[in-house]
Structure formats: structure tokens, C-alpha cells
Structure 1
Amino acid sequence: MSRIVNILVDGYNVINQWDFLKKLKEESLEDARDKLVEMLQEYAVFKDCSIYVVFDAHLVSGSVEKHERVGKINVIYTKEGETADCFIERTVPNLIKMGTVAVVTSDYLEQRIALQMGGIRITPREFLLEIESIKKGIREKAKTSYSQQKTTLEDFISRDILEKLEKMRRNL
């Protein structure tokens, strides 16, 4: 499989599929959105891809389509009357010209449409497992790298100078 260049995420769909975000949403929808964007940011940097997270605003009277850039993440709020699904369906054909496109949603119909347009479908559960796997790998690599990077003075000076320093330290 070729490297995924662009990922479209149905924001509220994912929030409602990931238990910890669903619980956070009950306290604050804004916090749940922010946490999702934060997690996607880490993923985008590690995978070197662009991510478009789309939030429905189709029931918000008078809303217009709004785009924000948060690091490598494109955050889109749809306009009144447009669902995230509609935005994703409209966007996949344009992004596919630039390379492989994945759509993250649990909506079966949306998955089928993405596949028919030449994209890849990823369920929210699969995506969360991949994010967690990447985070674990980064932590392990950082832990290993740190212990391997430990250096001492002995690594940089000759044995005879080291002996002279030791004598000075002991006042000999």
C-alpha cells in the first residue's frame, strides 16, 4: 500500500466512537474537539501527512464554512445544511489527485463511497489503535535513545588527562 498523503476525519463521528472523547464531550464539546485535534497533530507530524478534520455545523443556523489551520491539521466546520459526510464526499476527488486519501469514519455508507472514489477507509477503532501504537513506539524509542545517549567525560578526553584530573580531585 502506498503512503497515505491526506486523511479526512469525520470529527464528531470519531469523538462519539472513542470512549474517552465521548466522555469528555459530555463535559465539554470544545475540549473533546481540542483533544482530537491534538492527537491528530501528533499523528500527522509522525506520519508526515495532511489531516482534514471535519465537524458538522449543518444544524447551526446561518453558519458558513470555516477553515482553521492548527499545525498540520486543517479543521473544517461545515456550513449550514452541509454534513461532514457531504464535505468529505466533495473533497475526496480533489485530494486523490495529490496521492492516497484515507477517510476515517464508522459510517458504513461513507466508507463505501470513499472506496468507490479510490480512497481508503479506516474505522475510528483502527485509527485509534494505530495512534496508540505510534505513541507507544515513540515512548520506547525516546527511552532507549536517552539511555544510549548518556555520555561521560571519559568519552571525550584521553586516559592520561583523566588520570591527572583524578589526582587533582583527590589532592594527590
Structure 2
Amino acid sequence: MKILKIILMPIFIMFVLNGCVINRENISFNNEYVDNESIKYISNKTKDISIGINSKEKYSIAKRPNTKWAGRGNELTVNNEFNEKVLKSVLEQYFEKINISEINNEDLFIDAKIINFEWEPIWGGQKLDYNIRTKVYKKEKLIFEKEYNKEQTYTKLIATFNSTSELANTLQSKTLFKFYNEEFIPDLAKALKENP
């Protein structure tokens, strides 16, 4: 029996390290994940513009990490609902009327889609990379279109979370929230200024 265990142990280790045992995690968003990134103190929100976020296209992207060894057995999935909730949370800081909808019947209509994402576990956190395509319509006229690539590395955070699931959800949410807040919002403000 001891010999059998010795023979099977390396096979089991290779099985796990090669990712044949997969832990699948659907990324979800919670406003608490981004409290430190938020600038909720803005009081002069735009009240006269209603904004719609396109929810018509349903998609999900599942990815295993960009690494040969660590974390190969983990698979993270992001989808349109996660993206829409993060974008809505960012927009709510600047505008009062935000609606997630399949129909373009608002003053502004934002079509933002995650094209691809990559992730890699690193000591104390994760390295994340998002590709996002955005289009903004004002009264059905396209006023802005851009594809972004956002790379972010978070470290020394692993000890603050109770589970790998909470870590993944928090870091993915923070990365996407920071992208929309720091890159997309300034571009949106510029597009609105150029298209009164």
C-alpha cells in the first residue's frame, strides 16, 4: 500500500498543478469592494442628463491565469452583468439618472463591453489586464468610441480577505472601477464638452 501511495502521489501532484482540477469562480460586484476607490463626496451631480447602459448583449469570458504553475487550477469568469454594475456604480458619482437597459431611449447611451481579460496570481495579490470597448451615443448619435487596455497590479492584500473568492471579486472590481473612474470618465466629459 505504501508503494502504491508513493507511485500515485507524483501523478496526483501533476494533475493538480496542470489545472485538471479546476476551481471556477464567477466574478460578482459589490459596492463595498470599491469604497476606497470611490469619490462619493461629489455633490454637484449632473441632474439634467439621463444615462442608459446597454445590457442587450449578454456575454461571459472565462480565463485561467497567465502562469505555468501557481493558480492554474483556478478559472475566473467575468460577464456583462458584472461590467454593467461596475460602470453604473462609477456613473452614479457624477450623474443622478442611470438606467441599465436594452433600449437606447436616454439622453446618453453607453455601450461598454469587456473584450478580453487576463489575470495572474502574484505574491499577496493579482496582476490584472482588461481590454474594454466603449461607445457613447447622444440622442442616438455616436459621439465617442475607444478601446482601452487597463493593467493593474495589487499586492499585499491577500491577508485582508477571508477567501480566494473574496480576493478575486474585490480585485477584479477595483481594477474595473478604477479604469472607468480614471480613464473613461475624463474621456466622457471631454466628449460631452465637444458635443453640447
Q: Same fold (TM over 0.5)?
A: no
Q: Which has the larger radius of gyration?
A: 1
TM-score, scaled to structure 1: 0.27
TM-score, scaled to structure 2: 0.25
Q: More helix by proportion, 1 or 2?
A: 1
